Structure 1
Amino acid sequence: MDSTAIITQVTNPKEEGILSCAQEKVSQCNISLKKQRNRSIFSSLFCCFRSYNVDPPTSNNNTSPLPPLVEENGGVQKGDQTQVITIPTPPTKYLLPELKVSDYGRKCVVIDLDETLVHSSFKPINNADFIVPVEIDGTIHQVYVLKRPHVDEFLQKMGDLFECVLFTASLAKYADPVADLLDRWGVFKARLFRESCVFHRGNYVKDLSRLGRELNKVIIIDNSPASYIFHPENAVPVQSWFDDMSDTELLDLIPFFEGLNRITEPFYLQVCLLAQRYD
């Protein structure tokens, strides 16, 4: 197995030199979705009252082959100009355990790992926050992990407000020990890995309908639009992070989520998420 296949991440433009056409589209999408986060939650709430009609999930007859060992999850593949996204039927057994009493009434926030909270590399990094040994085909490899600026403050605040779930398309043998080191406060009530994703048209998709939570109370934070292609109306996109230590994305998100926490009506929650993406 290719050592890089255990980690699902987008490509660092600095390493590529020249972005491919597909990567440029994803980058443009991320930039267009980013908002000025210093606006108040109520300003975002009333700036846009476009309603969403979400079609119910249809049966999944997708018989695509097993995924290749290409773990770049950066964009949505397009065939014809108009693309129909088939949402799989929710399973009889859900991915998450029963809701704990302490989380009753809380919204569920699904948080991505790579390029959202951390950046990892098999190349040595002098200022790595963690070095995680990972066994691949009988050989131990060192994974060097950088924490995104303000990730500690962000996680603690999110844990105070929501039921938080780590959901990554990377393998558990890498992501689980990273989460152990990253989440010192027990913020994540559950951890989901690649096997919990749906492989759809070359991408690992995080199907929120399989969680076992009310979909209108679920929010996903992710740098890859392909990850939430089944439920884009539930997404809070973030810019991919690699090594910019002046980045404030997570810090800027805190006031927005503090505002979301005060919203009880699902409709207004959807309006706020919509405004956050397109404002």
Structure 2
Amino acid sequence: MSALVRSRLLSIVRTSNRRYCSSAAVNPPPKEPIAAAASSIIGNQPPPPSSTVPPPATSGAEKKSWSFLKYGLIAALTGGVATAGYVTYGTASSLYLNAYVMNHQANTFANLLQKFQAYLYSAAMTVPAKLVELYLDLRRSTEEQVRGFTEPASDQLLPDLHPMEQHVFTLVLDLNETLLYSDWKRERGWRTFKRPGVDDFLERLAQYYEIVVYSDQLNMDLSKLNRDPAKILFVSGNALESSLQPENSVPIKPWKGEAEDTALLDLIPFLEYVAVHRPADIRPVLASYQGRDIAKEFIERSKEYQKRMQDQKQHGRIWRR
């Protein structure tokens, strides 16, 4: 019996040695299962179920886990740093861009402000100049228009005198308040009246003078008549105000509709005397009547002259006796 037990033990041991020979150097075979098997063989009992627990995880797995964790932490740290750097770079870029935009806007606004100031200065300097030019143009145009009405269309308003009439004086007569008077009333409108004595005045003086009717509504230049200024007489109620040659003026009282007026008839003797005696220059003669009523002054001078002539005649008669 004992021999049988030994043989079985030896076979089990050999079998176990061959099965675990490759791993015996690394992991020694557990002793408890062998002893249990031997006791079961010796006791002729079946071996108990194996209650071996798998060996715990080796340090290689722990190293792998630690390496994975380490690399994960490094990757996370690197990602965080990269993210922070990117965010910082983006923020800096955004701030730089905002600063650039604000600086550009400020420069643009400054340029616009400078341009606006330059435009205002240019306008302030240009507008007065333009206004002055516009004023000068308007004034020049207005003067040209007025000159077309005020100034004679020609330097010779009258044709040349006939050679046989060079000695004839020219009598220039005004219309308004001299020969005629125009009046306006609401109930009848405009009406024109003829001065008393106009017909006789013109009929008698037409024998001696070249008569020219000239309105004094505009300033008159007697030098444009194409006549000798020494032989021109200008009769007007506003002669001194309307004529450019007052030395040729024969002023009379302006007529404004008085029915008893005789100014024209009173002036006939003086004008006839001038036409008959033909002074070389009428201007000194008219200057001697300056500031006086020519018609009355001429009558007084005529009376004095006749009186002197009568005295001379009487003196001559007495001398002859």
Q: TM-score, normalised by structure 1?
A: 0.47
Looking at both structures, which has the greater relative contact order when contacts are Cα pairs under 8 Å and sequence separation is at least 6? 1
**Of the two, which has the highest radius of gyration?**
2
Q: TM-score, normalised by structure 2?
A: 0.41
